[in-house]
Amino acid sequence: MSTEQNQPKEFDAVRGEEVASPLDGSVLGGIQGVKRRLTNSHSDVKIAALNDAIKYGDIGLDLVIDALQDSSQQVQLVAAKLLQQNGGEKAQKALLTFSKLDIISPKNIALRRVLDKILTILEERVPDIASALQPGLTREEIDKITKDFPLKLPEEVYELYQWRNGISGYVGFGLTWNGIQGGFSPLAEAIEDFYNVKQRGCPSNFLRLFLFIHYLGGDYFAVSLDNATYPIIHFTEDNEITIQNFLGLQRFSPSLTTLLYAIVECFQVNAIYISTPSNDDSSLEFNYDKVRNIIRKYNTSNLKIYNS
């Protein structure tokens, strides 16, 4: 009889390696099964594998540490949490030396989660926009770009640009004669814009992150660097660009994280939606009243989107 008949198939349960048995019960496929699942392209599969890996002592601990370098920020966060809860000195050292996760706060975790949620929405509904997002930067690359910047960048900005470094080109909102173009500035462009604005005599310090260009001029959403809580501010300027054209400078959202949670809800209730007219050219559309009410809810209520 061929020995191949006695070999386990891909999804059969097999015994784990005796040198590293799980600490609190058997795991399907043993440590080799855990390793296989960690090569899967789906984050949910990897996360389940990490929760099993931590049960395998030092061998599993090394796998969790390796997951800090995973391409998915969600997987990184789960790995970091497992190391914080279960790891000893070796785990803590790995966390300290991993620059992309050197500050793991509840607020940063909330921001990473909502950024990943936005990416999932874009990939499912408007893949062209998702593919136009530029790869994220490392913390070292951000530090290099901002090495001469006179002000401290908030951690939310670090997190944002580690996620994605802006978008290539513009996103179309509406296909009418007065259609709106939306943008997400790459970090180097946002820094250059900061200096250009200061040269024009602007007394405020802010970093423009998102912009919407339309026939009346532009709407800008920036993180304020003058406030220790780093709120998102909104202002407009018309086509005659002088310092006097910065109008209505006001707080738009308490934080970048809060703003992005509001945007996710806008997608979920179709306040922001996809329109595909007869010519098959898709664009993002929005219901002004719905969007306004959602933004207002996140700004004025006591919604708690992360634990302090």
SS3 166: strand
Let me know if residue 308 belongs to a domain. no
Average predicted confidence (pLDDT) for the chain: 75
Residues 59 and 133 in one domain: no
Let me know if residue 159 belongs to a domain. yes
Segment 250-255 shows an average pLDDT of: 81
Residues 138 and 286 in one domain: yes
Q: Which of 61, 81, 101 is a domain's end point?
A: 101
Q: Which of 52, 80, 101 is a domain's end point?
A: 101
Query: pLDDT tens digit string along 97-142?
Result: 664 444 455 566 788 888 888 999 888 887 888 888 999 888 889 9
Let me know if residue 305 belongs to a domain. no
Residues 85 and 140 in one domain: no
Lowest mean pLDDT among 50-54, 78-82, 299-303: 299-303
Query: Residue 26 pLDDT more than 80?
Result: no
Are 133 and 167 a contacting pair, CB within 8 Å? yes
Query: Residue 146 pLDDT more than 70?
Result: yes
CATH code for position 211:
3.40.1580.10
Question: Residue 228: which pLDDT band, with cuts at 50, 70 and 90?
Answer: confident
Q: Which of 44, 77, 101 is a domain's end point?
A: 101
User: 153 or 104, which is more confident?
Assistant: 153
Write the DSSP string, 82-138: HHHHH--HHHHHHHHH-GGGSS--HHHHHHHHHHHHHHHHHHHH-HHHHHHEEEPPP
Residues 166 and 215 in one domain: yes
Segment 268-289 shows an average pLDDT of: 74
Query: Residue 213 pLDDT more than 90?
Result: no
pLDDT of residue 151: 94
Query: Residue 19 pLDDT more than 80?
Result: no
Output the CA–CA distances (angstroms, integers) from residue 158 to 130, 142, 146, 256, in the order listed.
Answer: 20, 7, 11, 11
Let me know if residue 306 belongs to a domain. no
Residues 126 and 89 in one domain: no
Residues 33 and 79 in one domain: yes
Residues 47 and 170 in one domain: no
Residues 121 and 91 in one domain: no
Let me know if residue 281 belongs to a domain. yes
Are 111 and 158 a contacting pair, CB within 8 Å? no
Global model pTM greater than 0.85:
no
Residues 95 and 216 in one domain: no
Residues 171 and 277 in one domain: yes
Region of 131 on the Ramachandran plot (φ > 0 left; ψ -120 to 50 alpha; else beta): alpha
Residues 64 and 89 in one domain: yes
Q: Say how many domains are in the chain.
A: 2
Query: Residue 242 pLDDT more than 90?
Result: no
Let me know if residue 35 belongs to a domain. yes
Query: Residue 301 pLDDT more than 70?
Result: no
What are the two backbone dihedrals, phi and then psi, of residue 134, each rounded to the nearest 5 degrees? Answer: -85, 145
Q: Which is it for the CA torsion 265, 270, 271, 274, positive or negative?
A: positive
CATH code for position 70:
1.25.10.10
Structural domain span for residue 174: 106-300
Let me know if residue 203 belongs to a domain. yes
Residues 204 and 227 in one domain: yes
